[in-house]
Amino acid sequence: MQNHTNTLTKNNLTIRDLLRLAKKNNLDVDLIQLAYEFAEKAHKNQKRKSGEPYIVHPLAVAYLLVELGLDSETVAAGLLHDVPEDTPTTLHEIKKEFGKEIAFLVKGITKLGLVKYRGVDRYVENLRHMFIAMAEDVRVVLMKFADRIHNLQTLQALPPEKRRRIALESIEIYAPIANRLGMGEIRGQLEDLSFPYLYPEEYAWLMKKFGPHLKEKEELIQQLIAFLQKEFKKHHIPIVAIHGRTKHLYSLYQKLLCYNRDITKIYDLVALRLIVKDVSTCYESLGIIHEFCKPLKGRIKDYISQPKPNGYRSLHTTVFMPPQFAKDEVHGEIVEIQIRTKEMHNDAEFGIAAHWKYKEEDHKEVIADHRLDWMRQIVEIQKEVQDDQLLETLKIDVFQNYIFVFTPLGDVIELPEDATPVDFAYQIHTDLGDKCCGVKINDQIGSLNSKLKSGDVVEIFTAPKKQGPSESWLEFVKTNTARAHIRNYINKKNRSFLIVG
């Protein structure tokens, strides 16, 4: 069973551990060794608040970056990331020794650490720096995630107020950004590590109330794994990997609040992940599982044929476990099973980081990925808007949960929570938004100000002769796209009225 809080880093790391993993990942061990020696010399005699030698921190950051599959330069920059800020050694010296690319990455992460977090409303200028740096090179924020995860793992050594501030920044700023980049495991770690410092009473309640329940579920999952392995062997289907995964604690807490703290309403408390060799085997595996595990109605989700907009792909089915696993004759055990290929699994865990690769000419690039589009849009927007407008944009485009709704043809559209059919229409095309006059939601006539939910199928009706949007729509639309188009139309209309007048 995976333990979320320790999956990505280890305690008591040494440079040998780092070099061993780097070699396994075909990285430049000579460059990494050189960066380590440079950082160790710069941080000599420095201690962390925990009393450990300071070099422990950059070493842990670098190790996590290798685990994320990043390149040699990023790993080297991870080792060097605190040198300009915390030692007399300058960025110029790093550039002279390691070159322009590594110096750029170190400079990028140094800038992100300058502002103390006092809530998102006072953080806008730092967010400007962050998104500009991310747009230039997304590795900067991946380094920041690694830096923050290790800092959270050692937060106990800091004073209570500082612990809370760092935890708050992690959960309000970095976790949503990780989510938007499709990095589910990183988001989960940031939230889970912050949870006990930010909401200690709620954390203690959760552990006391559901700790034993989770343990019981984990034992059942291990029995189911053994059962599945036998069944798949009978069908001659090889399993690449199979493991149980307890729900991230903070995510569980958030979900419990939606269900009045009733744990019986949560079916993915423990999920089983089945990793197979290819897409066709995913669907074949689903059929085999349904032979002996009755599926819950409406709980089969195909994110392979219709991926989520953040790139997530997997088959999900929520099933009753075989009769021998039932608590009694009446109550069957329910479990969610996720079926995916190894590539899908890496992508789900590490998102944009899983797309890092080397080109033949030895230049590095992130594969073109639509998960970066929102970030580039923010960089363009922030050139033209004031801080309060930028904050409004960020709160909608980054720091908000998202839903996934469908067009009648099955295309997936990503929208913020509580978005309406008008937001949906503008997300598809400006003309569709301007001329929309009605909507069907799941084959039922709805109103244009209805709040959409994940999984809704939305069909927009248009009036071809309609001139443009209604000003009243501004009272309920949620997306910046819809708001901007409606305001644009109203401004143009007012200008033409003044000219005619």
Residue 118 tokens read as 């006092």
3-class SS of residue 201: helix
Give the integer Cα–Cα distance in Å for 112 and 77: 14
Cα distance between residue 270 and residue 369, in whole Å:
31
Give the residue carrying structure tokens 């598809």.
428
Catalytically active residues, by annotation: 85-86
Q: Is 463 exposed, middle or buried (0-12, 13-18, 19+ CB in 10 A)?
A: exposed
Q: How far apart are CA 309 and CA 180, in angstroms?
A: 10
Return the number of other C-beta atoms located less than 10 Å from residue 124's C-beta: 17
- Coil, helix or strand for 140? helix
**Contact criterion met (CB below 8 Å) for 272 and 338:** yes
DSSP β-ladder status, 458-462 and 436-441: antiparallel
| d(C-alpha 85, C-alpha 83), whole Å | 6
Residue 423 corresponds to which amino acid?
Answer: D
The dihedral through the CA atoms of 51, 53, 57, 63 has a sign that is negative
What is the β-pairing status of strands 436-441 and 412-416? unpaired
Cβ(378)–Cβ(393) below 8 Å: yes
Q: How far apart are CA 71 and CA 179, in angstroms?
A: 22
Count Cα atoms within 13 angstroms, Cβ side, for 275: 14
Q: Which of 213, 210, 207 is nearest to 327 (CA)?
A: 213
Q: CB burial class (10 A; 0-12, 13-18, 19+) of residue 92?
A: exposed
Q: What is the dihedral sign for C-alpha 227, 232, 234, 238?
A: negative
Q: How far apart are CA 366 and CA 377, in angstroms?
A: 18
Distance CA 97, CA 41 (A): 14
